[in-house]
């Protein structure tokens, strides 16, 4: 869910700190301060500095010998969200003086590899924020700790059933649902009017999407100055938007066969239909630029704000970003349910991110206590954190809030009922980053045909998962 401007591999930093700390004599160890520079709608830039020996940290900054230290790694990227989390931690520490929470903020693009590095080095945090598609991988690695003895049935019952699917494996719970979004459809009402389209009637299906996109693509002097539609396809999130078209075409991406193995469904006719449609948007209908292969959610959002594109698919958090940073187009844009597939199937990508306790943690009870604290109260700290991101806390109460019923949020709220998550196949991340995303980008650039794309994806997935 969250591609930002700068990345720094925290795994390497953590390992270096551990090694240096282990080698230095106890009386001469040098404290390390991690300072987070927060950028609204951008990646937190993490800067590691070593204070001079003559300027030791304030005594209150370090935990006392009686305190339990819980290391918490997360990918908070909005300043407002980080402020809420800082306040939540301060509140928790005040009410639990024997526990100290130490944060590490990393980028979404580096989070997976950093956690893998930390696990391999034996320095994984106590609590790790994970994108839901990664959970099955780390569960199968034995990297997560069950918390059923710490979390009550009443606490678990507050979450939407779909949200619990992200943290429960083989009947046991390994963390809590956290902030998350579903992916939505955005359109410029003013550009609809200029094109002679009803600004209150967005496209309802694939055919209308193409029809509208053609009318909204504007060419001047042989150059396109306004595109009909854009979908981010750059970086690590390149499959987030294509997934929705697969599901709308009634293709699950992958499934478990009778032998208990994960197998790809991408080469089935429905998979080819989705790939062909995606290909055609750029190469046949010419309503979407091929340079989306290098664009992130934020790049596409900027094109939308500046009027370079009339319709976009983007993450639900984009609503808050546009409202806060692009007031010049207030009232000129709207959100809607995503256009349905050929058989009328409604589908979108959507799931909560998760906060998971790691198997390496030596303080599992305290870690789960902190997680329960974040989701307790009305509004809870989790509620406030999600409001800061203009996203969803996947609880039964939150979807009934005034926020969820806001006209710009309501279509996203309604979409939760037909949102899907990526397959929980154990090596899906390897397939996704190594084969799926590069293939999607090659498809959009016209370097491979839809037939070649689905066949290559099918073979790669099955080979990785031992079903070929």
User: At 43, is the pLDDT very low, low, confident or very high (cuts 50, 70, 90)?
Assistant: very low
Which pLDDT does position 161 carry in this prediction? 87
Confidence of residue 78 (pLDDT cuts 50, 70, 90): confident
| Each residue's pLDDT tens digit, 166-200 | 999 999 999 999 999 899 999 999 999 999 999 99
Residue 164 has pLDDT above 50, yes or no: yes
pLDDT-derived band at 62, boundaries 50, 70, 90: low
CA distances in angstroms from 233 to 245, 286, 438, 439, listed in the order given: 13, 16, 9, 11
pLDDT at 65: 60
Question: CB–CB of 453/262 below 8 Å?
Answer: no
Give 330: exposed, middle or buried? Use CB within 10 Å, 0-12, 13-18, 19+: exposed
Domains, in order of start, for the chain: 182-350+425-464 (3.40.190.10)
Mean pLDDT of 321-333: 96
pLDDT, greater one: 48 or 137? 137
Asked whether the predicted pLDDT for residue 3 surpasses 50, the reply is no
- Name the pTM for this structure: 0.75
Q: What is the pLDDT of residues 263-287, one digit of tens each?
A: 999 999 999 999 999 999 999 999 9
Average pLDDT over residues 362-366: 98
> Region 396-420: what's the mean pLDDT?
91
Mean pLDDT of the chain: 88
pLDDT one-digit tens code per residue, 432-468? 999 999 999 999 999 999 999 999 999 999 999 997 7
How many whole angstroms from its chain centre is CA 419? 14
Q: What digits encode the pLDDT tens for the residues 189-238?
A: 999 999 999 999 999 999 999 999 999 999 999 999 999 999 999 988 89
CA distances from 280 to 206, 450, 453 (A): 12, 9, 14
The pLDDT of residue 236 is 82
Q: Which helix (H) or strand (E) holds 104?
A: strand 99-105
Which residues make beta-bridge pairs with 264?
A: 254
Average pLDDT estimate for 140-153: 97
Largest CA distance in the chain: 75
Q: What is the pLDDT of residue 48?
A: 35
Q: Is the pLDDT of residue 45 over 80?
A: no
Average pLDDT over residues 59-79: 80
At residue 426, the pLDDT reads 87
Judged against a pLDDT cut of 70, whether residue 293 lies above it is answered with yes
Residue 337 has pLDDT above 70, yes or no: yes
- 50 pLDDT more than 80: no
> Average pLDDT for residues 53-75, to the nearest whole number?
68
- Please say whether the beta carbons of 371 and 127 come within 8 A: yes
Report the pLDDT value the prediction gives residue 448, as an integer from 0 to 100.
99
Whether the per-residue pLDDT at 333 is higher than 70: the answer is yes
pLDDT band for position 417 (50/70/90)?
confident
């Amino acid at each position: 869910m969250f591609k930002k401007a700068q990345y720094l591999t925290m795994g390497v930093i953590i390992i270096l700190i551990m090694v240096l700390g282990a080698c230095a004599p106890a009386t001469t160890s040098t404290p390390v301060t991690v300072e987070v520079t927060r950028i609204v709608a951008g990646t937190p830039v993490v800067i590691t500095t070593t204070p001079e020996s003559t300027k030791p940290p304030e005594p209150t900054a370090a935990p006392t010998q009686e305190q339990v230290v819980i290391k918490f790694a997360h990918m908070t990227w909005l300043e407002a969200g980080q402020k809420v989390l800082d306040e939540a931690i301060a509140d928790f520490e005040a009410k639990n003086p024997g526990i100290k929470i130490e944060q590490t903020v990393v980028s979404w693009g580096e989070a997976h590899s950093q956690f893998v590095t930390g696990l391999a080095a034996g320095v994984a945090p106590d609590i790790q924020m994970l994108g839901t598609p990664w959970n099955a991988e780390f569960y199968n690695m034995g990297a997560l700790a069950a918390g059923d003895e710490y979390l009550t049935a009443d606490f678990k019952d507050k979450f939407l059933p779909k949200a619990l699917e992200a943290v429960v494996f083989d009947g046991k719970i390994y963390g809590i649902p956290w902030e998350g979004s579903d992916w939505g459809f955005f359109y410029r009402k003013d550009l609809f009017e200029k094109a002679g389209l009803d600004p209150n009637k967005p496209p309802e299906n694939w055919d209308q999407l193409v029809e509208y996109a053609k009318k909204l693509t504007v060419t001047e002097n042989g150059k396109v100055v306004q595109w009909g539609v854009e979908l981010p396809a750059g970086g690590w999130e390149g499959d987030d938007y294509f997934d929705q078209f697969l599901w709308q075409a009634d293709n699950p991406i992958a499934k478990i066969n009778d032998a208990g193995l994960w197998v790809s469904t991408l080469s089935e006719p429905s998979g080819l239909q989705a790939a062909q449609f995606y290909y055609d948007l750029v190469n046949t209908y010419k309503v979407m630029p091929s340079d989306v292969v290098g664009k992130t959610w934020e790049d596409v959002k900027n094109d939308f704000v500046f009027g370079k594109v009339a319709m976009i698919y983007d993450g639900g958090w984009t609503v808050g970003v546009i409202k806060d940073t692009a007031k010049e187009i207030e009232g000129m844009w709207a959100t809607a349910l995503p256009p349905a597939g050929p058989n009328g199937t409604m589908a979108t990508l959507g799931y909560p991110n998760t906060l998971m306790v790691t198997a390496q943690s030596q303080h599992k009870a305290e870690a789960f206590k902190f997680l329960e604290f974040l989701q307790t109260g009305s509004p809870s700290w989790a509620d406030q954190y999600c409001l800061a991101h203009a996203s969803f806390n996947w609880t039964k109460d939150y979807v009934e809030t005034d926020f969820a019923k806001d006209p710009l949020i309501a279509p996203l709220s309604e979409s939760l009922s037909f949102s899907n998550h990526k397959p929980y196949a154990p090596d899906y991340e390897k397939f996704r980053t190594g084969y799926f995303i590069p293939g999607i980008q090659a498809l959009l650039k016209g370097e491979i045909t839809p037939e070649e794309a689905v066949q290559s994806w099918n073979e790669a997935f099955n080979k990785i998962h031992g079903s070929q």
